[in-house]
Structure 1
Amino acid sequence: MSDQQVFNSFSEFYPYYLEEHSDRTCRRLHFAGSLLVLMVATWAITSGMLAWLLILPVIGYGFAWIGHFWFEKNRPATFKHPVYSLMGDWVMFRDMLIGRIPF
């Protein structure tokens, strides 16, 4: 079997994404990074300091990658499935926010 899994849709990918985020600390770091991204983006836009938008990937991926490398002990799905992974970040954020996934 190839290391590169093929997904034909996001609905096929999301269960795999959740398996890659089974560690609670990793999920919490993802949540914190996503929340900070939303807060910094809101602040940057409302304050007119748009240059701060450039650090959003560092904030979001920084927290997530710490979760993967130190707690989950795997490689982020971003490396193989960047679009689906970004979508998964926000769906998991929503699912944690509404209690569908344990925080």
Structure 2
Amino acid sequence: MSRRFASFREFYPFYLAEHSHRTSRRLHVVGSLGVLALVGVAIVERNAWWLLAALACGYGFAWVGHFFFEKNRPATFKHPVYSFIGDWVMLKDVLTGKIRF
């Protein structure tokens, strides 16, 4: 049974609990930074195919973290919008030192 969340504020603690393994968080950060780099390449090169690489990079690193380190299913499967937002908020929290990397 899927848990329901009334807001992102309610969802984010659940999201962080699903990303408690340090290696998984690191993989998410690498994937998110890779996404930013590849989106930048897509803009500079004016080639949308790089966006597919960005998608593969972001989800690839994240899913390795979930399946091999967290041993759980990515929240993307049941909460795609909140999970997407959570990825970027967690990246911000890591980069600002709010979450330990």
Does the alignment reach a TM-score above 0.5?
yes
Return the offset for 1:52: 1.1
In structure 2, runs of 5+ residues without a counterpart are none
Distance 2:46 2:4 in 1: 41
Say if 2:8 is the partner of 1:47: no
Identity of paired residues, percent? 61
Task: State the one-letter code of the partner of 2:23.
Answer: T
Q: RMSD between aligned alpha carbons?
A: 0.8
Query: Where does structure 1 differ by over 6 angstroms across 4 or more consecutive aligned residues?
Result: none
Say if 2:7 is the partner of 1:12: no
Distance 2:81 2:53 in 1: 19
Pairs within 5 Å for 1:1-103? 3-103=1-101
SS of equivalent residue, structure 1 residue 87: helix
Deviations 1:44-97 (A, max 9, x none): 101222221122221101000000000011110001100000000000000000
Deviations 1:8-37 (A, max 9, x none): 100000000000000000000000000000
Task: State the one-letter code of the partner of 1:54.
Answer: L
